Amino acid sequence: MHQAFSGSLDLVFPSVSASDRSERPTPFLGIVSDCAEMRKIFGVVEKVAKTRSTVLILGESGTGKELIARALHTLSGRSGKLVPVNCGAIPEEILESELFGHEKGSFTGAISNRVGRFQLADGGTIFLDEIAEMSPKLQVKLLRVLQERKVDPVGSTRSIDVDVRVVAATNKDLAEEVKAGRFREDLFYRLQVVPVNLPALRERGEDVRHLAQHFLSRQAEETGRSNLTFSPSALGLMANYRWPGNVRELENVVERIAILSDGDVIEPANLPEYITEEAGVPQAFALADLTLPSSGVNFNELVDTYESKLISSALSQTNGNKKAAAKLLGLNRTTLVEKIKKKGLESKIEVLVVGDDEGEKVERGCN
């Protein structure tokens, strides 16, 4: 359950400027994380990197699967290149030629020989992203490459030896794809020699804050705005958002707000409305951090006034239905009734006896 925004966030999350890196985790080959699960994954990457074992990276879109593939290649010590291929973005009839190459005249438009991605990755690593989108026909050819370490260019009668480390990735459950008959079981087991399951960003604890600050630092450097910083409340709201697009979504949001913000401090009002709404903060309440007058304020009086306004607003929105108003405010109905009595708000309530499913009174506010 997400916590609603309140001024107390400023006490819980001290302000950190874009240039302050003292409390940030040390990146692992460019991957920023202080999450225990991610640290375990880094350990697996280090152990498997120098082997020839096939690695299958699983995780939602935007979780950083290509970054893990790049880390594997970097640590492998292999002399060849890392060659990425998005299997879901290339039509089947073109993907076969892209992966394995073709001979001149092998099909219409094949005006010359073409070297495939596997040959380009010889001595290095090929990263097959969205592997679940590969057609059954190409799955058979890929299985042969994994088994024999040879590729057969389209239209050729000769096989070509390749020394390629294969890293595959998908955001789908391949085991379920196998059950559904959409993915070959033998290929599945060939690919998942070493499986790596990346957690969603919402499962990575403090990483939202670490990553937000990391991306803001990068924006500060690129734009020459070294004083860019998040207010504690803005950072708290971002931490409470679920980030369905994961790290990629967070990176894009930080870039947008860094570009569009006028001041050096990123406030809740600078955040996209859907982020503040999910955290339980109407955009109208996502105010910039207040500067208190030098004369001070009466804290209890201000809190009491604000609480009264929240209760009045909830009653107004629900036409005086206390049960519905209590739900809006996240309170028990009895607690709300006590607050109404304590604040002397009964005069604003007109009781209309209306039977509902529970046989209780529905109370409506007077206009």
Comparing 181 with 13, the larger pLDDT belongs to 181
Whether 76 maps to a domain, the answer reads yes
Residues 20 and 53 in one domain: no
Report yes or no on 107 lying in a domain: yes
Amino acid 362: pLDDT: 41
Same domain assignment for residues 273 and 175: no
Q: How confident is the model at residue 11 (pLDDT cuts 50, 70, 90)?
A: very low
Residue 293 pLDDT exceeds 50: yes
CATH number of domain containing 140: 3.40.50.300
Q: How far apart are CA 68 and CA 197, in angstroms?
A: 11
Please give the residue range of the domain that contains residue 246. 9-26+202-285
Q: What is the pLDDT of residue 161?
A: 95
Residue 279 shares a structural domain with residue 334: no
Q: Report the CATH number at residue 269.
A: 1.10.8.60
129 and 176 belong to one structural domain = yes
For residues 226 and 303, membership in a common domain is answered with no
Supply the CATH number for residue 324's domain.
1.10.10.60
For residue 27, give Cα distances in angstroms to 42, 97, 147, 249, 344: 10, 37, 35, 19, 56
The pLDDT assigned to 138 comes to 94
Percentage of the chain surpassing pLDDT 90? 54
What is the structure's pLDDT at 352? 32
What pLDDT shows up at residue 110? 72
Average pLDDT over residues 45-50: 97
β-bridge partners, 197: 58
Using one digit for the tens of pLDDT, what is the confidence trace for 113-162?
Answer: 888 999 999 999 999 999 999 999 999 999 999 999 999 888 888 899 99
* Confidence at residue 314, expressed as pLDDT on a 0 to 100 scale: 82
Residue 330: per-residue pLDDT: 84
Q: Are residues 161 and 104 in the same domain?
A: yes
Same domain, 136 and 244: no
Mean pLDDT over residues 77-93, rounded? 94
- Per-residue confidence (pLDDT) for residue 284, from 0 to 100: 56
DSSP three-state, residue 347: helix
Choose the weakest-confidence range: 288-292, 327-331, 345-349.
Answer: 288-292
Domain boundary, last residue among 256, 285, 314: 285
pLDDT(70) > 60: yes
Predicted confidence band of residue 93 (pLDDT cuts 50, 70, 90): confident
Q: Do 122 and 156 fall into the same domain?
A: yes
Report the chain's mean pLDDT, rounded to a whole number.
Answer: 84
In a domain, 291, yes or no: no
- The answer to whether position 3 is within a domain reads no
pLDDT value at residue 282:
59
Total domains, the chain: 3
**Is residue 303 pLDDT above 90, yes or no?**
no
Highest mean pLDDT among 7-11, 72-76, 225-229, 297-301: 72-76
What local confidence, expressed as pLDDT, does residue 69 receive? 98
- State whether 232 and 173 are in the same domain: no
- Looking at 235, 252, 285, the residue that finishes a domain is 285
Q: Quick check: is 228 in a domain?
A: yes
Question: What is the average per-residue pLDDT within 7-23?
Answer: 41
Look at residues 168, 198, 228 and tell me which one is the last residue of a structural domain: 198
Helices (H), 224-321: 232-240, 246-260, 273-278, 299-317
Q: What is the mean pLDDT of residues 271-297?
A: 67
Question: Of 180-184, 216-220, 359-363, which range is least confident?
Answer: 359-363
| Any domain includes 2 | no
> pLDDT grade, residue 281 (50/70/90)?
low
Q: For the chain, give the percent of residues with pLDDT over 70.
A: 83
pLDDT at 5: 35
State the average pLDDT over residues 203-224: 94
Residue 271 and residue 189 share a domain: no
Q: Is residue 290 part of a domain?
A: no
What is the rounded average pLDDT of the residues 3-12?
A: 35
Question: Would 174 be classed as within a structural domain?
Answer: yes
Mapping DSSP to helix (H, G, I), strand (E, B) and coil, where does residue 228 land?
coil
Greatest mean pLDDT among 4-13, 18-27, 133-142, 355-364 lies in 133-142
Tell whether 79 and 186 lie within a shared domain: yes
Residue 24 has pLDDT above 80, yes or no: no
Shared domain check, 62 and 179 = yes
